[in-house]
Structure 1
Amino acid sequence: MLRALLTCVSAVALVAAAGCGSSSGGTDQANTANGPVELTVATFTEFGYEDLLKEYEQAHSNIKITQRKTGQGGPYHQEFLTKLAAGSGLADVQALEEGHLSDFLDKSAKFNDLNQIGPQGLQDRWLKWKYDAGKSKDGKLIGYGTDIGPLAMCYRTDMFAAAGLPTDPAGVKSLFATWDSYFAAGDQFTKATGKAWFDSSAQVFNAMINQLDTGYLNTDDTLAIESNPGIKKSWDQVTSAATHGQSAKLTAFSPEWNSGFKQGAFATKTCPSWMLGVVKEQAGPENAGKWAVTDAFPNGGGNWGGSYLTVPTQSKHPKEAAELAAWLTAPEQQLKAFKKTGNFPSQVKAMESPELLATTNDYFGATKIGELFAAQAKKVTKAQYKGPKDGQIQENVTSPALSAVEQGKSPSDGWQQVVDGAKKLVR
């Protein structure tokens, strides 16, 4: 569920390295008397593609694009699964969030292999772990990588000052060194101010789980909830903090959560790169300069979020759809999307771009966010395996159980709710 931000950067260099037109080859030549090729692109939340799709149409007179844009990722992916099973109703280019990727990789027969129908020689475009995660067990590449979600920490400097905590990015590093130090600082903050340290137990827990070598499922798709001690340790830490008043008890992306940014309902926020755009939008101009972001993150960082563009076999124009998806995920296009929405590119050339590295965000105190998140991204060396139902466990099992604990359920009873719920999904 993600949401969770440059003109064609150094056009000569990037065209040579990644090819501004590398994925458009031959499409204009396909123009026929039958009229334009009509393509649909389905996305959720903010991908930053509105202007890019218009740009692609202007460069390809025979292509007409309609974008279907929806809100939250959960309902979007459930509808995706329904239409995939029905064999109709999907877009030519269908976005897919990494947390739900596992629910689709085992249905690779329903997707075109982009290595077969798309432009050739693109495999080195992406970080290796990002590219590999888009391949099914039978070797098909079902998705081109869009963004990734390297983790940093956002915090309210004015609220830190009120609690007697350091406010500059260097000064807060010791507070965010480990989860133990993070929650210890949370106790200090809540005692001093009576306010919440973080927005939602589920948001913090998800970041913690994404740092583990093994998540909810083992690589053989068996459930790891009870066998992986890291999951239970994370549960104990975050529920203990919640019972000590550190959680604002808000559901992410709800109206109350949105309002919480404006109202100063919490002091810290786990911030994958795409979250910066959310913070800025929801906190509003009146809070500009009050939020800061630091590369310090408990236990060293990780990845949370990021998406792929797929071409289902339902598409009547798979070649043209693949060319569009390849163009959208080229470094120069993803750099433009980054500037607009904060979605951090997964393309190597984009991450090395001087323009990206120099990118600042005045809303967060003119921090060089490009440089910050590029450094955070390099800390991730492999993607955590996401087996079938992984995204559903997060959204439909652990998040409701954590919310129940925030509302008074005991952590032990909440944990049993997690175990029972996960077992119902993964048999």
Structure 2
Amino acid sequence: MDLSRRRFLQAAVLTAAAAGATAACGGGTGASGSKDSKNLKFWYWAGGLSDKVVADAEKHFSDVSLKTSVIGGDFKTKLLTGMKTAQTAPDITGIKGEDIASFLPNAGRFLDLNSLGMDKLAPEYLSWKLKQATTQDGKLIGFPIDIGPCAMYYREDLFAKAGLPTDPAKVSSELSTWDAYFEAGVELHKAVPKTFLVNNIGSVFSMAVGQGTSRFIDADNKFIGDQDHIRTAWTTAVKPYTLGIDAKINDNTWNAAIGNGTLGTEIGAAWHALDISNAAPGTKGKWRVASLPSGPSNLGGSFLCLPSTCANPEKAFEIIKWILSPENQARGFTDAALFPTAPAAYELPALTGGDAFFGGQKTIEIFGPAAEKIPAAYEAPADAAVSAAYFNELTNVEAKGKDPETAWKDAVSQAKQIAQRQGVK
């Protein structure tokens, strides 16, 4: 694939900065007429769900006509347009993880799933993920489809050449901090000069921020992107650059780099395994997975939601509950690399088997524990827009040789301006 899911997420951050939190705009009309319609419209995007599970849902719920549409292009924009009237709005829709926060200020445009029975199901799903779709007054607008627990992917053969540990448990133990990981990168680059540790420092920054319980804006809508937790994440991200172990890849040359040994490791979500295997099928068996240095982090993960205009809320909730049951989430992992939000799925054969691309390793032993320990952090509607300034400046460090300290000051200054335009204090 030319564009990995990670790059889609990075692009989404930059788009948010330019467009602002457009979901806050007014719009949809209220629900009207009967609430027991037998005709339901269901929107999602390619890869957002297992197409096989969706097709089975159409058969399973034979008492209704479920018209599914795989929407291409800018899904969020098309959804906002569709929700302007009850006639054009879907009854069930996906919302991408990077967009959910921007919909929370207008949660009234969606049904509170707790009122339909999600409050009883909640203990079966990851609490930190549910929190991302929950308003401050407790309304839940999204049923979590998937998550992106993160790990370190590494080339076992290249680690062996550098005299580094190769067993996943040992790598996880010995490279358990960012500093230990970077030290290993120096050794790796010294032994195999063409091989670098990280693809770009923005990926390190994203992981480091995600390891904390605070982001760029707090629950009181106050800008905190200049505080120690973000400064520490920035300092951590810049280290590979200053140590000379950053490949500085911010374009599609990643595909070649992942296959030719330019990259000895990748830090990414569980779904990133598909990016790696698609880009470098010839490296099958050479990769392994270890825990992310310094603790769990998450990247990505989407939701199913019911607009307030939904023509049959009870039936629609039955449908999404069935699609996102632990058993069907396990199928989603097999079909579309969607990592389940229901821990019960982690015990099912679809996730407990060995992965041939990773030398037969049972990768759930890394991703499962990480998924359950990801810290809950408040994500404000303007979070993506504000964070874009930091990623832009980290790219300037790599691409233009900008002084990291100057870049930090500029990132904070730009982020504050964006925050003010978004109504952040």
Structure 1 length-normalised TM: 0.81
Work out the CA distance in 2 between the residues paired with 1:277 and 1:113.
34
Q: Deviations over 1:149-183 (max 9, x none)?
A: 22221011222233332322134235521011111
Q: Partner residue of 1:43?
A: 45
The answer on 1:265 being equivalent to 2:262 is: yes
Question: Using the alignment, how far apart are the partners of 2:116 and 2:280 within structure 1?
Answer: 43
Q: 1:70 to 1:202 in 2, by over 3 A?
A: farther
* In 2, Cα distance between equivalents of 1:155 and 1:67: 38
Equivalent residue letter for 2:406: D
For 1:194-233, what aligned pairs fall within 5 Å after superposition?
A: 194=193, 195-227=195-227, 229-233=228-232
Q: Which amino acid aligns with 1:323?
A: E
Distance 1:86 1:39 in 2: 14
1:301 to 296, 299, 307: 296
Q: How does 1:61-76 map to 2 (within 5 A)?
A: 61=62, 62-70=64-72, 75-76=74-75
- Asked whether the 8 Å contact 1:2–1:306 carries over to 2, the reply is no
2:194 is the alignment partner of 1:192? no
Gap regions ≥5 residues in structure 1? 5-29
What letter matches 1:263 in structure 2? Answer: N
- Shift in Å, 1:198: 0.9
Aligned twin of 2:336: 341
Given that residues 270 and 339 in structure 2 are in contact (C-alpha distance below 8 angstroms), is that contact kept between their aligned partners in structure 1? yes
Query: Hey, what does 2:130 align to over in structure 1?
Result: 131
Q: Which whole-Å deviations, capped at 9, do the CAs of 1:296-342 have from their partners, x for residues lacking one?
A: 32112233322211122354454443332222211111111112233
Give the distance between the partners of 2:407 and 2:215, measured in 1 at CA.
18
Is 2:46 the partner of 1:54? Answer: no
CA distance in 2, matches of 1:92, 1:52: 18
Q: Say which SS state the counterpart of residue 39 (structure 1) adopts.
A: strand
State how 1:22-37 maps to structure 2 within 5 Å.
37=39
1:178 paired with 2:177, answer yes
Structure 1 CA distance, aligned partners of 2:89 and 2:160? 50
**Counterpart position of 1:365:** 359
Q: Cα offset for 1:377?
A: 2.1
Does residue 422 in structure 1 map to residue 415 in structure 2? Answer: yes
Residues 230-241 of structure 1 aligned to structure 2 (within 5 Å): 230-241=229-240
Q: Tell whether the 8 Å contact from 2:50 to 2:335 is kept in structure 1 after alignment.
A: no
**Measured at CA, do residues 239 and 292 of structure 1 come closer, stay the same or move farther in structure 2, by a change above 3 Å?**
same
- CA shift at 1:106, angstroms? 1.3
Please report how far the alpha carbon of residue 77 of structure 1 lies from its aligned counterpart in structure 2 after TM superposition: 4.0
Moved more, 270-279 or 105-114: 270-279
Moved more, 356-365 or 215-224: 356-365
Q: Does 1:378 align with 2:380?
A: no
Deviations 1:355-407 (A, max 9, x none): 35622211111111223322222323x4111112112233x322222111111
SS of residue matched to 1:141: coil
- 2:289 is paired with a residue of what secondary structure? strand
> Cα distance 1:263–1:92, how it changes in 2: closer, same or farther (>3 A)?
farther
**Structure 1 pair 114/416, CA: closer, same or farther in 2 (3 Å)?**
same
Number of residue pairs the alignment of both structures matches: 387
Query: Can you list the C-alpha shifts for 1:47-74, whole angstroms capped at 9, x where unaligned?
Result: 3421111111122333233232547xxx
Per-residue deviation, 1:226? 0.9
Alignment identity in percent?
A: 30
Corresponding residue to 1:411 among 404, 411, 421: 404
Q: Distance in 2 between matches of 1:221 and 1:206?
A: 21
CA deviations over 1:215-268 (Å, ceiling 9, x no partner): 1121212111112x12112212222311333222223xx533333322333111
Alignment partners' CA distance in 1, 2:72 and 2:156: 33
Q: Distance in 2 between matches of 1:43 and 1:112?
A: 21
Shift of 1:411: 0.8
Q: Relative to 1, partners in 2 of residues 1:79 and 1:415: Cα closer, same or farther, differing over 3 Å?
A: farther
